[in-house]
């Protein structure tokens, strides 16, 4: 009992670090397998990162903002 099962993890967008990701849906409304949609940066695809701390998420978001400022994601 206990141990690893109690550890909380989050799935966050691999691009911007947002935890506001949902499963993407196909045009016909079905859930698209292995595909996620990020509500913050608009990314759609299979890349999400599983993290286990909020610090990691903040680190990703800082990195994204830095890159976004340079116009990398235009
Ligand atoms: Zn995103």
- What are 48-62's pLDDT values in tens digits? 999 999 999 999 999
41 CA from centroid of ligand 1 (Å): 4
Residue with tokens 């978001």: 61
CB atoms within 10 A of CB 38: 23
Domains in the chain: how many in total?
1
Task: Examine residue 35 and state whether it is found in any structural domain, yes or no.
Answer: yes
Q: How many angstroms is it from 59 CA to the middle of ligand 1?
A: 14
Tell me, in angstroms, the distance from the centre of ligand 1 to residue 1's CA: 35
Residue 4: inside a domain: no
The proportion of the chain whose per-residue pLDDT surpasses 70, expressed as a percent, equals 86
Q: What is the DSSP letter of 22?
A: E
The alpha carbon of 18 and the centre of ligand 1 are apart by a number of angstroms equal to 5
Residues sharing a CB contact under 8 Å with residue 7, sequence separation 6 or more, in sequence order = 52
Res 34 pLDDT > 80? no
- 47, exposed or middle or buried, with CB in 10 Å at 0-12, 13-18, 19+? middle
For residue 3, tell me if it sits in a domain: no
According to the model, what pLDDT value does residue 3 have?
55
Rounded to the nearest angstrom, the gap between the alpha carbon of residue 57 and the centroid of all alpha carbons in its chain is: 9
Domain that holds residue 59: 9-68
Q: 2 CA distance to ligand 1 centroid (A)? A: 33
């Amino acid at each position: 009992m206990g141990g690893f099962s109690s550890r909380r993890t989050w799935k966050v967008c691999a691009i911007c670090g947002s935890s506001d990701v949902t499963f993407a849906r196909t045009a016909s409304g079905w859930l698209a397998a292995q595909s996620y949609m990020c509500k913050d940066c608009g990314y759609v695809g299979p890349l999400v990162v599983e993290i286990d701390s909020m610090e990691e998420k903040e680190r990703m978001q800082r990195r994204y903002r830095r890159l976004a400022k340079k116009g990398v994601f235009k």
